[in-house]
Amino acid sequence: MSKFFSVDHAHKTLRCRGVWTLKTLMSLKKSLSSINVSSGVSKLDGKTIESMDSAGALVLSQWLKSFSQETSPLALENFKEEHLKLIKLVSLDEKWSAVPLHKKPSILTRLGMLTVHNILESYQFLSFIGEITLAGLRLFTRYRRIPWRSVISTIEVTGVNALPIIGLLSFLIGIVLTYQMGLQLRNYGANIYIVDFLGLSLLREFAPLITAIIIAGRSGSAFTAQLGTMKIREEIDALRTMGISPIELLIIPKGIGLFFVLPLLTVWASLFGLLGGMLMSKFMLDISYAEFLHRFYEAIPIRAYAAGMIKAPVFGLIIAAIGCYQGTKVTGSATSVGEKTTTSVVQAIFFIIVMDAVFSVIFKWLHI
C-alpha cells in the first residue's frame, strides 16, 4: 500500500491518490518504480488525486510510456480535465521527455574553443593597449591635465610601501645564491669568483625579475581589485557621465607610476641582494668586505647593470597594463573580482618571464 496509489485486483485498476507535485516528486518516483508490471492492471483511475502539477504529470507520463513498452497500455479513467490536459501537454512536448544530457566536447573541440577564446582575448587586450596609448599621447600633449596626485599616490603605494618586503626577500635571495654557488666554488678553490656570479646574476636577472614578480602579486592584483570594485559599483560609468575619462584618471597614472617605480625598486633589490651575498661570503668563504667590493668593481661591467635597468620599466608597464585590463573585464559579482585578480597575477608573471627571455635573446645579439 502506497500513499500515491492502490491496486484494485477485482477491477484490474490502479487507483491514484494524494498529491502529485514537485514537492513529492522523489517519493512519487520511488512509488511508481515499485509497481509490478505483471500485476494484471489495465486501467488507471485518477479520481482521488488531490492535486497535480507539471512535475507530477511528467513523472506519470514517463511511467505510462515505460509501462506500455513492457505490457499493454493503461486506460485513463476519472481524471480531472485539467489533469488530462497537463498530462497531454508534457507528453506531446519532446523537451519534457527526458533531462537533456550535456555531451562533453571532444579534445579537438575544446582545443578549438580555447584557441578562439585566446585569439579574441588577445584582440581585446591589444585594443585596450591601443586605447591607452592614444589616450596617453593626448594627455602628454596637454601635460597639465596629467593627474600627478594619482601618479604620486601610485608611487607611494607600489614603491615606498614595498621597500621592506623587497629588501628582505632580496637579502635572503643573496644569501641563498651565495651559499649554493659557494659550496661548488669552494671545492675548486675559486672562492673569489662568487662575486662575479652573484653580481651578474643579481644585476642582470634576479633583481629585476624578483622585483617585478613581487610587484605583480602585490600591486597588479590591487589594480585589478580596485578597478573591478569600481566597475561593480558603477563608479566608472559615473566618471564617464561626468565627462571624465577613466583611462586618464585611473589607468595612465598607474602605468606612469610603475614605469618609474620598478627601476628604483630594482636598484634597491640589487643593493640588498649584494649585501646578503657579501655577508654570506664573509662567513662562508672568508672574503672580506673590502675584497668583495674591489672584485665587484673590477669584474662586473656597467652593461650588466644597464641590462637590468632596461628590463625594469618594461616589466612595470606589463604589470600595470594587465592589472588594469583585467580590472575592466570584471562583471557584476564579487566572484568575478576574485577570478580576474587571480588571472591578472598569473598573466603578469607569465608575460614578465616571457619578456625576460626575449630580453636575453636581444642582449645576446647586441652583446650586452
For β-strands 13-20 and 5-8, DSSP reports them as: antiparallel
For residue 13, list its beta bridge partners.
8, 43
**C-alpha closest to that of 269 among 166, 164, 174:** 166
Residue pointed to by grid coordinates 665587484:
296
For the four alpha carbons of 118, 123, 126 and 132, in that order, the dihedral sign comes to negative
CATH 3.30.750.24 correct for 5-96: yes
The count of other CB atoms within 10 Å of the CB of residue 27 is 14
The CA-atom distances, in angstroms, between 258 and each of 16, 98, 331, 368 are 74, 57, 26, 25
DSSP string, 30-74: HHHHT--GGG---EEEEEEEEEE-HHHHHHHHHHHHHHHHHSPPP
Give the residue extent of every domain in the chain.
5-96, 129-366
CA distance 361 to 352: 14
Q: pLDDT 10s digit of each residue in the chain, 368 long?
A: 567 777 777 777 888 888 888 888 888 888 877 776 555 677 888 888 888 888 888 888 887 777 776 667 777 888 888 888 888 887 765 454 444 445 677 889 889 999 999 999 999 999 999 999 998 888 888 877 888 899 999 999 999 999 999 999 999 999 999 999 888 888 888 888 899 999 999 999 999 999 999 999 999 999 999 999 998 888 888 988 888 888 988 999 999 999 999 999 999 999 999 999 999 999 888 889 999 999 998 888 888 889 889 999 999 999 999 999 999 999 877 788 989 999 999 999 999 999 999 999 998 898 77
CA distance 288 to 292: 6
